Structure 1
Amino acid sequence: MFTGSIVALITPMDEKGQICRSSLKKLIDYHVFNKTTAIVSVGTTGESATLSQEEHINVVMLTLELSNKRIPVIAGTGANATTEAISLTKRFEKSGICGCLTVTPYYNKPTQDGLYEHFKAISENTELPQILYNVPSRTGCDLLPKTVARLAKFKNIIGIKEATGDLSRINQIKEIVKNDFLLISGDDATALDFIQLGGSGVISVTANIAAKEMVKICSYALQGDFINARSINKRLTLLHEALFIEPNPIPVKWLAKKIGLIKNATLRLPMTPILNSTRLQLEKAIQYANISHKQKIF
């Protein structure tokens, strides 16, 4: 459940900015049908930063309800305050989620010792499997390989989502952690290379739009068939790039609406509606990827 194509699921909202149950159900059904390995609920792509804690919990629990054990659900439980991250993690004990994705504390810019103590405290307060999440471009701090190795010694810290885009990190981490520690890409553009270098999968934004293709890429790659994996990935190259022309999840929500997966591309401030220039590039990207508008999703 922690390998292959894992989707960083968007959080669909109605015109008033409230969670849209029917669109969330359609998204989950889409990923079940296309055999996505697991769902990350309320991570960065799920707009954790603009949801209240009550909404955050409700979206995860609604995702669990609507998935009805058909697909594993991983909860985003990161926070910049350690006590808040612990509280959110403990809220999902015995809920049915299969693990937590916990981002490095943003804004605070902690030291490596601070990062170690933060994740250590979370680990010691839960039995849920923990996936570390390193994304310096958003958080302002970088979880370095030596610190990852220290944290990998905790039984329930099972892996890391590495979203630096720096492929050299794979060997740096693999050389100093136990063999079963999971390395998961957090960068769609380099995910295939990441797997080829020893990664176990990707937590993907692109999978929101191209679930079937991302599943095939990961499946082929994990079997060592990089010819077929690269053939499919080549079609998605423009899409991987276009989804980050504007801050995530602005582009991916617009595209999800465009192809009929969600009813509205509603965002909450300070996220703003997509620019016309970005729309044109996204149109070009999905045409190149051979993903049709209003396609029959499943």
Structure 2
Amino acid sequence: MFTGSIVALVTPMDDKGNICRTSLKKLIDYHITSGTAAIVSVGTTGESATLSHEEHSYVVMLTLEMADGRIPVIAGTGANATAEGISLTKRFENSGVVGCLTVTPYYNRPTQEGLYLHFKAIAESTDLPQMLYNVPLRTGCDMLPETVARLAEIKNIIGIKEATGNLLRVSQIQALVDEVFIIVSGDDASALALMQLGGKGVISVTANIAAREMAKLCTLVQQGSISEARRLNQRLMHLHQMLFCEPNPIPVKWAAKRLGLIASSTLRLPMTQLSSAAILKVEQALIKSGLL
């Protein structure tokens, strides 16, 4: 449930910015039939930054309800205040989520000791498995391998979503942790390379719209069919890149609507609709990848 192709699910909204139950159900069913290993609900791609705590909890619980035990659900519980992270995490105890994905605190740029104490406090507040999430480009802080190793000693911190795109990090972390500690990619463009170095999968933006392809990619790596995995990844590479031609999840929401997976590409301010120039880029990437 923490390996393979895990989708960082978008949060569908209607034209007024309200949570769209119909599109969410359609997305969940799409991932179940496509072989997605698990869903991350209300992570960064799920627009956690613009949902209230009540909406955050509502979307996670609605995802659990609609999944109905057919696919594991991981709750996004990241926050830039430790107390807030603990509060979000405790909301999902005994809910049915299989664990939590917790991003490094953003904006306030804690020290490595601050990062250690932050995640330690959250982990010790719950029995839920915790997956760390390091994405310096978005948060302004970078959790170093030595800090990851300290946190890996805490029994319910089971792995990390490493989204630096720096493949050296995989070996650096592996040298410091036990083999059971899970490393997954948070960067679609380098996910195949990370898995070849021993990573266990990807928490994927691309999987929102190419679920079968990303599930197959992970399966091919697990089977040792690297040449075939490389060919598939090459077909998807332009899409991996163009889904970040504007800040995530702007492009992937537009693409999901273009493919009929959601009814509206609505986002909440300060996120805006995909620009005309970027629409052309994403459209061409969908064609090149074989999705259109």
State the TM bucket, normalised to the shorter chain: over 0.9
- Who is 2:142 aligned against? 142
Report how far residue 222 of structure 1 moved. Answer: 1.8
Higher mean displacement: 222-231 or 113-122: 222-231
Q: Distance in 2 between matches of 1:225 and 1:150?
A: 34
Indicate the residue corresponding to 1:29 in structure 2. 29
Letter in structure 2 aligned against 1:185: S
Classify the secondary structure of the residue corresponding to 1:198.
Answer: coil
TM-superposed CA distance for 1:231, in Å, is 1.1
Q: CA deviation at 1:223?
A: 1.8
Give the structure 2 partner of residue 272 of structure 1.
Answer: 272
Aligned: 1:81 with 2:81: yes
Matches of 2:206 and 2:171, distance apart in 1 = 25
Identity of aligned residues (%): 68
CA distance in 2, matches of 1:81, 1:230: 40
Report the TM-score when normalising by structure 1: 0.97
Give distance in 2, aligned partners of 1:222 and 1:269.
40
Amino acid at match of 1:51: L
Query: 2:202 is aligned with what amino acid?
Result: V
Counterpart of 1:127 in structure 2 is: 127
Q: SS of the counterpart of 1:203?
A: strand
- 1:251 alignment partner in structure 2: 251
| 1:100 matches 2:100 | yes
Give the whole-Å Cα distance in 2 for the aligned partners of 1:282 and 1:179: 38
Q: What TM-score does the superposition give when structure 2 sets the normalisation length? A: 0.99
Helix, strand or coil for the counterpart of 1:6?
strand
Is there any run of 5+ residues in structure 1 with no aligned partner, and where? Answer: 293-298
Match of 1:295 in 2: none
More divergent stretch after superposition (257-266 vs 215-224) = 215-224
Structure 2: runs of 5 or more not aligned = none
In the TM superposition, residue 225 of structure 1 has moved relative to its aligned partner by 1.1
Aligned length: 292
2:166 matched residue in structure 1: 166
Q: Which portions of structure 1, spanning 4 or more consecutive aligned residues, are displaced by more than 3 angstroms?
A: none
Alpha-carbon distance in 1 for matches of 2:106, 2:237: 29
Match of 1:183 in 2: 183
How far apart in 2 are the matches of 1:259 and 1:83? 40
- In structure 1, the partner of 2:220 is 220
Output the amino acid matched with 1:217: L
Give the Cα separation in 2 of the matches to 1:88 and 1:180.
26
Matched residues in 2 for 1:179 and 1:272: separation? 42
1:224 deviates by 1.6
- In the alignment, is residue 52 of structure 1 matched against residue 52 of structure 2? yes
Distance 1:137 1:146 in 2: 19
